Amino acid sequence: MLSTIRQQLIAALADGQFHSGAHLAEQLGVSRAAIHNHIEALSTLGLDLYRVKGKGYRLAQPLSLLSADHIGVAERPAPLHLLWQVDSTNAFLLARAKQCRNGEACLAEMQTGGRGRRGRTWVSPIASHLYLSYFWRLEQGLAAAGGLSLAVGVMLCEALESLGVSGLTLKWPNDIYLNGRKLAGILVEVSGQQGEACELVIGCGVNVTMPESMAALIDQPWADLAGEGIAPSRSELARRVLEHLDAGMRDFELEGLTPFVARWLARDQFADTPVKLLLGNQEVIGVARGIDPQGHLLLALPDGTVKRFAGGELSLRPRD
């Protein structure tokens, strides 16, 4: 885990200004040699750090650390766990799901085992992006959870749009794109038995400021808010996302996907576009025709028929 000294060091450097080793050592009550060692260790966490003789240490760009006050933790109707480090925010809530209340959430400065859909790693550098998970117990059971990732995509888009972000689109079933590049992803994990209430953990990852050292680890075109000239604090972004999840999940519990379908279609990344759908080793080509009321992908096949596809281990891509 990230030690208290390293947490304090990150907080001291977060302003993006130069800080001398001597000043940091005095401030944190350790030796200058210890500061040097801790700085070296922080570089492995995805922080871009500079050292200039006679000036000291500084980050390549300021960090927007999460703030309980700015997020409004005290005003929330359910607990909000604000962590420096966790394996994954989804795993944290899943481990305590039986005790969770609707709207309970977890935010972290960094994840060591962030996950995306289909088992992919979600690159999670420290204090750079939004790593948020949200709990909801759906009394209607598993059958009522169909299409949830699409509804959450709409909620997340609307939260970002409330901060002035434009150019957002949705890629079925769970990605958010900004001007044609991936900005955010959603991972919904469900547990429960047929005929009983089910427990939902909704994971949201949003790229805010991608460190240069981490960019090379991503194997697809990506976007971040900073690169588009949009710079909300991560705390303000978290607050807006939580507000939209609170309201959206109440609507979803009452009406399911229905109130979200038109809003999803209005942001469809691949509307009427030639695409290919990867199903394991198989590939299906066609033209994307949006979604049906249950959230299934509609694909117009070369023979003129329209086929529905459910989520799962599928990957939708533009056709070459």
The reply to whether 111 sits in an annotated binding site is: yes
Is 96 annotated as ligand-binding? no
Note if 317 is an active site residue.
Answer: yes
CB atoms < 10 A from the CB of 14, how many?
14
Contact, 204 vs 241, CB < 8 A? Answer: yes
| CA proximity to 144, closest of 192, 90, 107, 108 | 192
148 class by beta-carbon count within 10 Å (0-12 exposed, 13-18 middle, 19+ buried):
buried
Task: Please pick, among 32, 51, 76, 182, the residue that the annotation labels catalytic.
Answer: 182
89 annotated as belonging to a binding site for a ligand: yes
Ligand-binding annotation for 55, yes or no, is no
For residue 268, the 8-state DSSP code is B
Query: What H or E segment, with its residue span, contains residue 170?
Result: strand 168-171
> Binding residue per annotation — 88?
yes
Helix (H, G, I), strand (E, B) or coil at 190: strand
| Selected catalytic residue, list 6, 117, 234, 240 | 117
What is the spatial distance between Cα 214 and Cα 122, in angstroms, rounded to a whole number? 11
Catalytic residue among 96, 120, 308, 317: 317
Query: Would you say 209 is a known binding-site residue?
Result: no
Is 182 a known active-site residue?
Answer: yes
d(CA 156, CA 293): 20
Closest CA to 94 of 59, 137, 126, 54: 137
**Positions marked catalytic:** 117, 182, 317
Q: Which residues are annotated as a binding site?
A: 88-90, 111, 115-117, 182
Binding site feature residues for biotin:
88-90, 111, 115-117, 182
